């Protein structure tokens, strides 16, 4: 079973940094409609159910938001200054094509970069702070620029989709549109399985900044089991060290099961059993500390057994994150199968050590 490339491409190339996830959530609602009516809240979270009267209640979570930037000031010359939304490295931006999402539509711009010839040796080795950089939109002055952009407009990398090789894709926002895809694809697969549990797929907001979407959904849904799907760092490239990443995980190796602070050990063991029974390859990664995902907010409520599931990605938090379609689809299959198994095996207290 191969990944639905068109849905995945649409998710990854639709702009939606934290606080501005609406266009992404519209895609999610449209996709969910074929299986279940979607619901939402004022924060921007979107969710949908299969078997709403079933027990226990299992939820699978991916976050809709991506990293980005936001307009903070326009100077007299018409140059647009900005700050980051989420973790954006300053070195990614000089000479980069960016899109400002203005009220009248997208505005193309380029981040300025001084000619190398006039920089000192020290200046050449590092990028200016983000708030010292600016975008050139071709405006002659501040008045002209403000006709096209406004303070508070979100900014994203250009929405390019590349197929580097069969089933290997590069795009912005795989973190975490891959998780959103897996959550709502799992809902479709689970509907066909007709399991006993209630399964809710959730597309949260604000993960890259405050985790507020996950916090709200935990209190709203009060699930028995939570599966959080997010991007994780691929160790199969020259830029990283598997020992430092606490696990050797690679593109094409299947879903990553987080062991340690990010998962309930009994639920993790169940996931490994289900994966083996379904013929789904999985990879293990240690979480000695926080996961830096929605999982922390879900676990903080203290009422849900949580499993952290990763999808291997290269170059996370950059304009081109690289992922394998098979990993994303296999993650959806694992979630659906695990939800069915939880429905069959669940008893009160079964995940209590």
Q: What is the pLDDT of residues 28-82, one digit of tens each?
A: 999 999 999 999 999 999 999 999 999 999 999 999 999 999 999 999 999 999 9
The tens digit of pLDDT for each residue in 116-150 reads 777 667 766 788 899 999 999 999 999 999 999 99
Q: What pLDDT shows up at residue 12?
A: 98
Phi first, then psi: what are they for 167, rounded to 5°?
A: 70, 15
Considering the domain architecture, whether residues 49 and 126 belong to the same structural domain is answered as no
Contacts of 348 by beta carbon, 8 Å cutoff, 6+ apart: none
- Is pLDDT at 320 greater than 70 in this prediction? yes
Q: What is the percent of the chain where pLDDT is above 90?
A: 86
Q: Measuring CA to CA, how many Å separate 6 from each of 2, 161, 288, 326?
A: 12, 11, 37, 14
Considering the domain architecture, whether residues 178 and 99 belong to the same structural domain is answered as no
The tens digit of pLDDT for each residue in 147-195 reads 999 999 999 999 999 999 999 999 999 999 999 999 999 999 999 999 9
- Is pLDDT at 285 greater than 70 in this prediction? yes
Q: Report the relative pairing of strands 162-165 and 154-157 from DSSP bridges.
A: unpaired
Residue with tokens 């300025």: 112
Average model confidence (pLDDT) across the chain = 94
Q: Measuring CA to CA, how many Å separate 352 from each of 225, 317, 344?
A: 12, 36, 17
Range of the domain at 203: 5-66+172-345
Considering the domain architecture, whether residues 291 and 189 belong to the same structural domain is answered as yes
Looking at the DSSP bridge assignments, the partners of residue 14 are none
Considering the domain architecture, whether residues 139 and 114 belong to the same structural domain is answered as yes
Q: What pLDDT shows up at residue 123?
A: 66
Tokens at 314, concatenated: 């290269």
Considering the domain architecture, whether residues 213 and 274 belong to the same structural domain is answered as yes
Residue with tokens 């939304």: 85
Question: Cα(351)–Cα(268) distance, rounded to whole angstroms?
Answer: 10
**Contact 292/282 with Cβ under 8 angstroms?**
no
Q: What pLDDT shows up at residue 172?
A: 96
Tokens at 111, concatenated: 């981040």
Considering the domain architecture, whether residues 236 and 272 belong to the same structural domain is answered as yes
Considering the domain architecture, whether residues 178 and 38 belong to the same structural domain is answered as yes
DSSP codes, 140-162: SSHHHHHTT--TT-EEEE----E
Considering the domain architecture, whether residues 132 and 217 belong to the same structural domain is answered as no
Considering the domain architecture, whether residues 149 and 40 belong to the same structural domain is answered as no
Name the domain boundary from 130, 157, 184: 157
């Amino acid at each position: 079973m191969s990944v639905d490339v068109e849905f995945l491409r649409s998710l990854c190339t639709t702009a939606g940094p934290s606080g501005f996830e609406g266009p992404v959530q519209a895609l999610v609602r449209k996709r969910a409609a074929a299986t279940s009516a979607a619901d939402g809240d004022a924060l921007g979270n979107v969710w949908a159910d299969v078997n709403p009267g079933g027990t226990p209640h299992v939820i699978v979570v991916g976050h809709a938001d991506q990293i980005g930037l936001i307009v903070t000031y326009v100077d007299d010359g018409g140059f647009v200054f900005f700050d980051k939304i989420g973790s954006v490295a300053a070195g990614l931006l000089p000479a980069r094509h960016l899109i400002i999402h203005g009220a009248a539509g997208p505005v193309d711009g380029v981040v300025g970069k001084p000619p190398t010839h006039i920089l000192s040796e020290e200046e050449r080795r590092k990028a200016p702070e983000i708030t010292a950089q600016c975008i050139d939109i071709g405006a002659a002055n501040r008045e002209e620029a403000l006709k096209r952009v406004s303070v508070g407009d979100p900014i994203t990398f250009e929405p390019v989709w590349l197929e580097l090789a069969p089933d290997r894709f590069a795009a912005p926002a795989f973190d975490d549109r891959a998780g959103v895809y897996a959550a709502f694809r799992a809902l479709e697969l689970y509907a066909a399985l007709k399991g006993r549990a209630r399964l809710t797929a959730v597309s949260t907001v604000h993960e890259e900044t405050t985790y507020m979407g996950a916090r709200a959904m935990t209190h709203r849904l009060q699930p028995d089991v939570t599966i959080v799907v997010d991007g994780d760092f691929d160790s199969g490239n020259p830029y990283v060290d598997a020992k430092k990443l606490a696990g050797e995980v690679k593109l094409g190796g299947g879903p990553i099961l987080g062991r340690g602070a990010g998962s309930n050990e009994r639920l993790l063991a169940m996931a490994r059993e289900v994966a083996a029974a379904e013929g789904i390859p999985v990879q293990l990664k240690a979480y000695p500390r926080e996961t830096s995902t929605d999982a922390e907010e879900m676990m903080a409520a203290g009422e849900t057994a949580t499993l952290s599931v990763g999808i291997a990605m290269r170059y996370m938090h950059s304009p081109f994150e690289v992922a394998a379609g098979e990993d994303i689809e296999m993650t959806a299959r694992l979630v659906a199968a695990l939800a069915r198994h939880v429905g069959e095996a669940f008893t009160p207290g079964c995940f209590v050590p």
